[in-house]
Amino acid sequence: MMLVHNPAITIRSEVQVTALRLWHVPLTSHTAYYMAEGKTCDTVETVVIAVETDAGVTGWGEVCPIPQYLPAYARGVAPALLELRPVLIGADPLGSESLMAKVDAHLPGHLYAKSALDIALWDITGKLTGMPLYVLLGGRRAADLPLYHSITCVEPDEMGRIARAVQAEGITQFQVKLGACGDWQTDVERLAKVREAVGSGPLVYGDWNCGATSLDAIRVGRGAAHLDVMLEQPCATLADCARVLSATGLPMKLDELAHDTASLLDAHRLGIMDAVALKLSKFGGLSNLRRARDLCQYLGAKMCIEDTWGSDIATAAALHLAAATDPARVLNVCDLSGYVTPRIAPEAPARKAGRIVPPEAPGLGITIDSDVLGEPDMILD
Ligand code: 0XW
Ligand code: MG
């Protein structure tokens, strides 16, 4: 084999993190978004970080935990990163996984805080190597990606109307939020109205966000069995989700309870993972989510690659991983930044005809609007 050195490619190998900046930015939903158990996305704080280097390159990260949704909260990110200061400042950010191993050794857990950090390190690596993240993550496998639309849990007729409106714009996959108000019959009606609105064919799935008893979820599943629907995360334990599956025979997607290797394997063993939501902040960023993606590829689950909530940084990070994933296994992605205002990178990709194209410039490939951020709430240097 002949190795040829290309002098056009120079990769900086001695780079150091010099500082970290952090902002809390309120994101307001275009329409308030209701889920079971009183969980709401109305105005939710996202956390944006900038990791500065002595190479003149800045890496951007974001994490936006929805209150009461997962064991994560926005104001927990800054203290976790402050604790990590000794391993971050002066460290080599290139490659991400090597520094994240030191980060994990210094502070176990706190995956949602680490998610923003890991995304920023990938952004630096991409910018310094001149490559979009989908290249570093394995290479682009798709020109664009299918989006679902998440329909807030309101009156059944209104949910049908929303479904029809977004279908007219090209959406073919519909997540129907269940359990926010009304009884189990109202949830059957919600699924029925959305199915009636979109016709047969499109994917329709009802998501309780862990908020149903197995009894209610089974009654809804049986009531909606003729509608060709999938159920998402009905109950708060894997055992109860498995019980819903065995009583309804409906396909099932997991979300909140699928958050690490062990839970993915358990869910697969129970047969309740026809599909799974791979969210960056559940797993701790792109490095861990890439490994989860590989495992799900092997286990045969269809993947929704996204994050809990957020704006353009979280959206772009997920799009890069999804673009580098076998398209036959990508169920869908989410244009989180399309549900909220302000946009943190106003020129970043947006929904078009029900699909979205990943950014194509190096790193995350998006340009942050510093006016939206204002002065940082924390600086580590
Ligand atoms: C996390 N959410 C509330 C926002 C995304 O749109 C999807 C949804 C979920 O729980 O699946
Ligand atoms: Mg969900």
- Give the pLDDT confidence of 154-166 residue by residue, as tens digits: 999 999 999 999 9
Which are the contacts of 6, defined by CB distance < 8 A and separation ≥ 6?
none
CA distance 356 to 8: 32
Q: How confident is the model at residue 1 (pLDDT cuts 50, 70, 90)?
A: very low
User: From CA 28, how far away is CA 106, in angstroms rounded?
Assistant: 35
Mean pLDDT of 104-133: 98
Mean pLDDT confidence for 60-88? 97
Q: Does the annotation count 279 as an active-site position?
A: yes
Calculate the CA 168 to chain-centre distance: 25
What are the C-alpha distances in Å from 316 to residues 16, 142, 307, 334? 24, 15, 10, 10
Give CA–CA dist 74/310, Å, rounded: 11
Q: How far apart are CA 282 and CA 128, in angstroms?
A: 27
Query: Is the CB of 305 inside a 6 Å radius of any atom of ligand 1?
Result: no
What are 174's two structure tokens?
């519909």
Report the pLDDT value the prediction gives residue 370, as an integer from 0 to 100. Answer: 96
Residue 251, pLDDT score: 98
pTM of the shown model: 0.96
pLDDT in tens, 121-137: 999 999 999 999 999 99
Q: Is 40 in the pocket of ligand 1 (CB under 6 A)?
A: no
Q: Is the CB of 263 under 6 A from ligand 1?
A: no
* Residue range 86-98: mean pLDDT, rounded: 97
Give 39's contacts (C-beta < 8 A, 6+ positions apart): 66, 67, 68, 69, 209, 211
Which residue out of 41, 280, 334, 351 has the highest number of ligand 1 atoms within 8 Å of its CB and is therefore the one to mutate?
A: 334
State the distance from the centre of ligand 1 to the C-alpha of 335, rounded, in angstroms: 11
Active site residue 193: no
178 CB under 6 A from ligand 1?
no
Q: Check residue 3 and give its pLDDT.
A: 40
Q: Which one is catalytic: 127, 193, 279, 302?
A: 279
Give tens-digit pLDDT for 296-307.
Answer: 999 999 999 999
| Mean pLDDT, rounded, for 328-344 | 98
Tell me what pLDDT residue 40 has.
94
Which residue out of 39, 114, 127, 177 is catalytically annotated?
Answer: 177
Residue 57 has pLDDT above 60, yes or no: yes
Cα gap 296→299, rounded to integer Å: 5
Ligand 1 mutation pick, 35, 303, 309, max ligand atoms within 8 A of CB: 309
Residue 12 has pLDDT above 90, yes or no: no
Query: pLDDT at residue 22 above 80?
Result: yes
Evaluate: CB of 308 within 6 angstroms of ligand 1: yes
In whole angstroms, give the CA distance from residue 43 to residue 26.
6
What 3-state DSSP class applies to 153?
Answer: coil
Handedness of CA 99, 27, 362, 305 (dihedral sign): positive
Pocket test for ligand 1, best of 41, 44, 308 (most atoms within 8 A of CB): 308
Where does the pLDDT of residue 4 fall: very low under 50, low under 70, confident under 90, or very high at 90 and above? very low
Q: Is 277 a pocket residue for ligand 1 (Cβ < 6 Å)? A: yes
pLDDT (0 to 100) of residue 32:
93
234-280: pLDDT as tens digits: 999 999 999 999 999 999 999 999 999 999 999 999 999 999 999 99
Provide the mean pLDDT of the chain.
96
Closest atom of ligand 1 relative to the 39 alpha carbon: 3
